[in-house]
Amino acid sequence: MYNWIELTQSEEKTVWKKVFNEFQFKPSVSKFPSFIVPSPFITYDISPYRNWSGDLEEYEKIYKDLEEKSLSAFQELTTGNEYFYALDWQHLCYWVNPFLEFPKDEFNEWIIPIFPDGDYYFFIQKEFNWGFLGHPWEDTITVFGKELIQVFEKNKPRMFNTILRIG
């Protein structure tokens, strides 16, 4: 089995149409929030990590914690052969399986990073039952879907210490 399978043009068009329709997605660098997700959801403020000025080694530990706990959460909510969407606004998008390899790029990040550092990065279950939405300009990560919220509450990433919105 392969991981990080590029969506076909048709799949990509379909999934982004659904994102725009279901989340009322309006990309913006200044009008927030840019999407409205179904309840329940929690939006976390990640601004302290966006322009980190502290110890680089500590930041790397916090970032790795976010990757590991997110991957663990995705694994808890999927089966061994199940794929979900990994979306990067206006870039290549993929099907991913959390049980297969998550290779790193030259910046030591996943192909689509878990931390929104310059674009919208969305990880969404194929039926849109849950998702992890990164907003780079609002400096937030929104987790929606009861199951995903519960998994993160049991094993919360260190970055998830300030809640901005709950719905």
Residue 41 has pLDDT above 80, yes or no: yes
Per-residue pLDDT for 161 more than 90? yes
Distances (CA, A) of 62 to 44, 54, 147, 162: 15, 12, 23, 14
pLDDT tens-digit map of 86-140: 999 999 999 999 999 998 889 889 999 999 988 999 999 999 999 999 999 999 9
Three-state SS at 26: coil
Note down the domain range covering 78.
5-166
- Using one digit for the tens of pLDDT, what is the confidence trace for 44-68? 999 999 989 999 999 999 999 999 9
What's the pLDDT score for residue 105? 87
Q: Is the pLDDT of residue 33 over 70?
A: yes
Q: Is the whole model's pTM more than 0.85, yes or no? A: yes
- State how many domains the chain has: 1
Q: What's the pLDDT at 117?
A: 87
In sequence order, the β-bridge partners of residue 45 are 140
Instruction: Check residue 1 and give its pLDDT.
Output: 60
